[in-house]
Structure 1
Amino acid sequence: MLAHLFIPLLGYSWLASAAIDFSDFNACPQVWLKEFVPPNCDYGSSTQEAIDDDWECLCQAESFLEQSAQYIWEECGCEELDSTANTLSSFCSEVGDPIQGEDTYIYYGDGFVLPCVDPSTGSSKLSVADIAGIVAGVVGFFALLVAFLQMAVALEWIEPQYEPWPQIVKILCCSSIQVENRKTRKAKKQERKELAKRKKEKEELEAQRRQDLEGAPPSYGRGWDAARDMQL
């Protein structure tokens, strides 16, 4: 008799304190969402008010968001993380406490990297070697493209005026040519200043010499000048 009474009471107690319902999420994320629910966020799901309280608490629980996102990314992958972020953002918006967009949850999951990259493919943060490889690949591609176009011109597949290499050289050399032109103009300007300065000095010397000659007594030959100097 007591057992018959106890079972319904146990069932009622379980309903009154039922766990938060994550049935709107896919199966894999559900495991980790349930795993990291803070105890203080489970108000029971017997009423709509309790459900709203649950979600309002979850949407403010940063540890729940971070931990669940990280494990969903590691164990379920990017597609599930994106789906979970979308659904979670919708739930949080309904209770008036939205998380900072879906990207925030994805950030929590894959280590602050967008777009999301599955852990099996490695992080999307590029190393120096990765960047160097990408640059080398791009340069190699353009080199092959230029070589192909040059060959096409040589074989008369395309018109000579479309030959790419002279245009590329012109573009690459343009900046250096401009720098050299500026240096040349500056040197010529400085040279003109020096020539003008020397010319002015020469004119001043000529003027001084003429002035000295005009102020000197007339000369009657070397002998007369020597006798005059002795008398003076």
Structure 2
Amino acid sequence: MFSLKNKHAVITGGGSGIGKAIALLFARQGAFVHIIELNELAGKLAVEEIEQAGGQAKSYSLNVSNQQDVIETFSAIGQIDILVNNAGIAHVGNVEKCTEADFNRVFEVNVKGAYNCIFAVIPLMKKNNGGCMLHMASIASAVGIADRFAYSMSKGAIHAMSMSVARDYLNDHIRSNTVSPARIHTPFVDGFISKNYAGKEEEIFEKLSKSQPIGRMGKPEEVASLALYLCSDEAGFVTGNDYPIDGGFIKLNN
């Protein structure tokens, strides 16, 4: 079950964190993984790790906010059976602490970047008689998160775009879903804590972990496992949905 043999998967932001975990798992399940990364070194290192494990992968240094570059890269890849829109950036602050430049920066990557990839991949999937898209949303698209105004905006847009694509391309056999993680322990989290809470790293890490009702942060590999199911043929009846993976945050955090 959950074989991705003979499938080509494009994963944006696949060089670290959740994206890398998805790339590693998809390659292990037989997919040829195409990693889209702004950080060229991170992409190359992820490819090396995949190849050392016996998988197939290639990396592309690319800014997803540049539509023409995305179109050219996707066209060069040719066959794309799976798109995982994972690339994204964060911003801490409420609306008063979100400048126009902050807002635009988050929008350019998280919203326009995802749109560019969708726009570029639709013709390829239609030509291939179908495909699957998975977009990384967030619990922030469903509930209010303090000091995450721009980020929440972007993730709400991700969910709305995914629903629209799922509706518009049913007859083209293109599925589209979102995954909404709560706090996942990635290098980004460690970097955020060390930058903003120097000397209190352990205390803050524990506090953030306990903010999840289940009592810990999620693991990138756990998100990857959900992504694998949603992008596999076994999920062929699944489209137009959002899947929280949140340790009970949305329903149990009262």
Asked if TM exceeds 0.5, the reply is no
If asked which structure has higher relative contact order (CA below 8 Å, sep 6+), I would say 2
Q: For this structure pair, what is the TM-score category when the shorter chain's length is used for normalisation? A: under 0.3
Tell me which protein shows more helix as a share of its residues.
Answer: 1
After TM superposition, the score normalised by the length of structure 1 is: 0.23
Tell me which protein shows more strand as a share of its residues.
Answer: 2
Highest CA radius of gyration, 1 or 2?
1
